[in-house]
Chains A and B, each alone.
Chain A
Amino acid sequence: MSAPGAARAPEPTPPAPVLEVERLRVTFPVRRGVLGRRVGTLVAVDDVSFALRPGRTLGLVGESGCGKSTLGRAILRLCEAESGRVAVDGVDVRALTGERLRRARRKMQMIFQDPYASLDPRRTVLDCVAEPLTVHGLAPSRRAALPAVTRLLERVGLEASHLGRYPHELSGGQRQRVGIARALALEPLLIVADEPVSALDMSIRAQIVNLLVELQRELGLAYLFIAHDLALVRYVSHEVAVMYLGRVVEHAPVRALFARPFHPYTHALLASAPVPDPDAERGRRRLVLAGEPPSPLEPPTGCAFHPRCPHAEARCAEERPELRTVGDGHRAACHLEAPRAWPASAEGA
């Protein structure tokens, strides 16, 4: 058996990217006091660039507050970026308004972490899945959408008997299937999945993950898969980007990233994630990264990771490392010449 993601060979002539992100920057005003006076700027996403081709998954990992969800939302224009370019199917979506934006939105959909929060509790499964079809004029009425909705439900592993149910009558896994059916209704090219299984029970996660992988194979969907679970990201992704404090610090094909991580932060993330095998756990280096990510309101100078990095040198505090190529399709933002093992003193007991 092989990985559903990793084992697929890249196609000989790569098709045009579905998603191109160039130097994207997202900021939020920081307000204080009763008058909400603007006292500063929080840079949530800074200088992020990547491209995603059809049928491929880019995994986006990082700890809470690193900007991974904001990046996903900015791509879908659920929040506005300050600068940079986002092109979906060759169209710069940041420039679009009104009807043209609505049409572009059909190509990009989102799957949320908590389907309970993203589905209207007063509406049936049929209503939820038919809504995008009627809103975008693909079906004149809910009744006319019925055949399409029935097909969609079948495709995500639900039955026609679920059509009249309300979200609270469904299990967590079934609700997420409804969320997926809704996202598929407009036949999108790109799906941003933000922690799509982390609210589900262990025994249900694999069902949903395998469904997403199957749908990708069948429909050639491109996924931006946002998750904090590295093992899951390894399983579904072709490429992985690691974010720290708003910036991508490493971006590589999935195998290279997990076998030869370059950035010290990536090393720490991989070593921190436990493995369900006591023998493997015993043999692993117990590297414990001290401290917590710094506040994006007061980012460190130079490399944002330098206060926690065991290899930090003088220049790391002064000069921000840019992403540079360190291997085949492998980029990292680090001043080190080569990846270095963490010193013994940084390891835990």
Chain B
Amino acid sequence: MPLFALEALTVDFRTDDGVLRAVDGVSLGVEAGEIVCLVGESGSGKSTVALAAMGLLPQPAGRVTAGAAWLDDDGARTALVRAGERALARLRGRRLAMIFQDPMTSLNPYLTVGAQLSEVLELHEGLARAAARARSIELLRQVGIPAPESRLDEHPHRLSGGMRQRVMIAMALACRPKLLFADEPTTALDVTVQAQILELLCRERDAVGCGILLITHDLGVVARVADRVAVMYAGRIVEAGPAREVLCRPRHPYTLALLRAVPRVDAAADVEALVAIPGAPPSPLALPAGCAFHPRCALAEARCRETSPEERRTPTSAGDVRLRCHVETRP
């Protein structure tokens, strides 16, 4: 039993222009001690996946219309979706936690850093005030905040973006969750700070053995930290598998096209001309028939315009690769 499993999760949003399917039949697992990256562009549904699993979909517009999400809670298989607010509140913080791109969405601007950390520790861990303060200092030190004692009494807006992100990570890690959702945690940060935060997440995974679902659009971040990766396009996972397999031998034309469209900083590789992907990602309100990527795909054939490809599995030495494509690139 994996730590976390999504089974054919489907999420619909009601909008003024009609019902849109943000996530369509997404299945995905995260094992303990594993970092799984969910990659996609804006509107691909990658963030909605985590929000749905956390019970944080915007209400009343968003609804899980099919499928399930499971968490292994010390051997007990616990349903996350439709679990009810009270059951989810019990799990959040203690068993699963989430960090967002913008720390100010989860930090309270009116409370000091120390008050927010202590609240989590008093509520979930039942620590007394003095013990909570001591543990807060330890947590801030752990996430690389210098002079943590003096930071406890500061308000979040006094901190730099990188420091705020660390405070949010410290809050997320406060109760040693088994599963961490991280939605673009480094996108707003400078590259040297990004490197620090990624190291921090990897260290936490190594120390506690938690599973991390990292949502990102940056294939470099995937290559640096992911054990496995799932690529989303228009609400569906189009390719998933071991990170090395997917990035070094992409089978889906979309994955391949993305890799060719991003420049690389390393001097070892020759600089190649970027190959742009024509067009733009489709609106979830007006998805193309057949494979949603076909209007932008260099390999599209007649059947790609007519039928949506089923998922196929290809075994590799590092694990299965799942692919939704009629054609498949040839390496």
Render A248-265 as a binary contact track against B, CB cut-off 8 A, 1 for contact. Answer: 000000000011000000
A282 to B222, CA, bound (A): 12
In the complex, chain B residues whose CB is within 8 Å of the CB of A203 = 41, 257-258, 261, 276-277, 280-281, 296
- Tell me if B268 is interfacial: C-beta within 8 Å of chain A: yes
- Tell me if A80 is interfacial: C-beta within 8 Å of chain B: no
- Tell me if A101 is interfacial: C-beta within 8 Å of chain B: no
CB-CB nearest in chain A for B258:
A202
In the complex, chain B residues whose CB is within 8 Å of the CB of A292 = 160, 162-163, 192-193
A165 to B266, CA, bound (A): 41
4 new A-B contacts at CB < 8 Å, known A174-B280, A281-B220: A210-B273, A274-B220, A274-B224, A278-B244
- Tell me if A277 is interfacial: C-beta within 8 Å of chain B: yes
Interchain CB contact (< 8 A) of B190 among A1, A64, A172, A290: A64
CB-CB nearest in chain A for B260:
A206
Q: Once the chains bind, are A280 and B223 in contact (CB under 8 Å)?
A: yes
A279 to B202, CA, bound (A): 17
Known: A281-B223, A288-B196. A234 touches B265 (CB 8 A): yes
Q: Once the chains bind, are A235 and B263 in contact (CB under 8 Å)?
A: yes
CB-CB nearest in chain A for B160:
A292
Residue pairs across A and B with Cβ atoms less than 8 A apart, 23 shown, are A63-B193, A171-B280, A201-B281, A202-B261, A203-B281, A204-B280, A206-B274, A206-B276, A231-B265, A235-B274, A258-B267, A270-B265, A275-B266, A277-B223, A277-B264, A278-B247, A279-B248, A281-B223, A286-B195, A286-B199, A288-B199, A289-B195, A348-B195
Q: Once the chains bind, are B263 and A278 in contact (CB under 8 Å)?
A: no
In the complex, chain B residues whose CB is within 8 Å of the CB of A291 = 146
Query: Within the complex, what minimum Cβ distance (angstroms) separates A33 from chain B?
Result: 18
- Tell me if B271 is interfacial: C-beta within 8 Å of chain A: yes
Interchain CB contact (< 8 A) of A272 among B195, B243, B277: B195
In the complex, chain A residues whose CB is within 8 Å of the CB of B144 = 290
In the complex, chain B residues whose CB is within 8 Å of the CB of A277 = 223, 247-248, 264, 266, 269
Known: A201-B41, A206-B261. A173 touches B280 (CB 8 A): yes
In the complex, chain B residues whose CB is within 8 Å of the CB of A210 = 273-274, 276
- Tell me if B238 is interfacial: C-beta within 8 Å of chain A: no
Q: Once the chains bind, are A231 and B199 in contact (CB under 8 Å)?
A: no
Q: Once the chains bind, are A231 and B262 in contact (CB under 8 Å)?
A: yes
In the complex, chain B residues whose CB is within 8 Å of the CB of A205 = 261-262
- Tell me if B203 is interfacial: C-beta within 8 Å of chain A: yes
Q: Once the chains bind, are B277 and A206 in contact (CB under 8 Å)?
A: yes
Q: Once the chains bind, are B263 and A273 in contact (CB under 8 Å)?
A: no
CB-CB nearest in chain A for B274:
A206
A207 to B243, CA, bound (A): 26
In the complex, chain B residues whose CB is within 8 Å of the CB of A278 = 223, 226, 243-244, 247-248
A207 to B273, CA, bound (A): 11
- Tell me if A158 is interfacial: C-beta within 8 Å of chain B: no
In the complex, chain A residues whose CB is within 8 Å of the CB of B296 = 203
A316 to B287, CA, bound (A): 59
A275 to B270, CA, bound (A): 13
Query: Within the complex, what minimum Cβ distance (angstroms) separates B292 from chain A?
Result: 13
Query: Within the complex, what minimum Cβ distance (angstroms) separates A32 from chain B?
Result: 15
Q: Once the chains bind, are B280 and A228 in contact (CB under 8 Å)?
A: no
A202 to B41, CA, bound (A): 7
- Tell me if A3 is interfacial: C-beta within 8 Å of chain B: yes
- Tell me if B139 is interfacial: C-beta within 8 Å of chain A: no
A204 to B162, CA, bound (A): 28
Query: Within the complex, what minimum Cβ distance (angstroms) separates A261 from chain B?
Result: 9
Q: Once the chains bind, are A231 and B264 in contact (CB under 8 Å)?
A: yes
A258 to B220, CA, bound (A): 17
- Tell me if A163 is interfacial: C-beta within 8 Å of chain B: no
Sort chain A's interface into a size bin.
35 or more
In the complex, chain B residues whose CB is within 8 Å of the CB of A276 = 219-220, 222-223, 247, 259, 262, 264
CB-CB nearest in chain A for B42:
A201
Q: Once the chains bind, are B41 and A275 in contact (CB under 8 Å)?
A: no
Known: A2-B273, A201-B217, A202-B41. A288 touches B195 (CB 8 A): yes
- Tell me if A180 is interfacial: C-beta within 8 Å of chain B: no
Q: Once the chains bind, are A274 and B223 in contact (CB under 8 Å)?
A: yes
Q: Once the chains bind, are A273 and B247 in contact (CB under 8 Å)?
A: no
In the complex, chain A residues whose CB is within 8 Å of the CB of B270 = 2
Query: Within the complex, what minimum Cβ distance (angstroms) separates A167 from chain B?
Result: 15
Query: Within the complex, what minimum Cβ distance (angstroms) separates B62 from chain A?
Result: 22
CB-CB nearest in chain B for A279:
B248
State which residues 205-249 of A face B: CB under 8 Å.
205-207, 209-210, 228-232, 234-235
In the complex, chain B residues whose CB is within 8 Å of the CB of A232 = 263
In the complex, chain A residues whose CB is within 8 Å of the CB of B196 = 288-290
State which residues 58-94 of A face B: CB under 8 Å.
63-64
Render B218-261 as a binary contact track against A, CB cut-off 8 A, 1 for contact. Answer: 11111110100000000000000001100110000000011101
Q: Once the chains bind, are A279 and B244 in contact (CB under 8 Å)?
A: yes
A279 to B223, CA, bound (A): 8
A204 to B206, CA, bound (A): 36
Query: Within the complex, what minimum Cβ distance (angstroms) separates B212 from chain A?
Result: 15
Closest 4 CB pairs of A and B: A274-B220, A276-B219, A206-B276, A63-B190
- Tell me if A336 is interfacial: C-beta within 8 Å of chain B: no
- Tell me if A9 is interfacial: C-beta within 8 Å of chain B: no
In the complex, chain B residues whose CB is within 8 Å of the CB of A323 = none
Known: A64-B190, A276-B219, A278-B247. A284 touches B266 (CB 8 A): yes
Query: Within the complex, what minimum Cβ distance (angstroms) separates A263 from chain B?
Result: 13
A275 to B222, CA, bound (A): 9
- Tell me if A6 is interfacial: C-beta within 8 Å of chain B: yes
Render A300-338 as a binary contact track against B, CB cut-off 8 A, 1 for contact. Answer: 000000000000000000000000000000000000000
A231 to B161, CA, bound (A): 23
- Tell me if A164 is interfacial: C-beta within 8 Å of chain B: no
Query: Within the complex, what minimum Cβ distance (angstroms) separates B266 from chain A?
Result: 5
- Tell me if A268 is interfacial: C-beta within 8 Å of chain B: yes
Render A335-346 as a binary contact track against B, CB cut-off 8 A, 1 for contact. Answer: 000000000000
- Tell me if B272 is interfacial: C-beta within 8 Å of chain A: yes
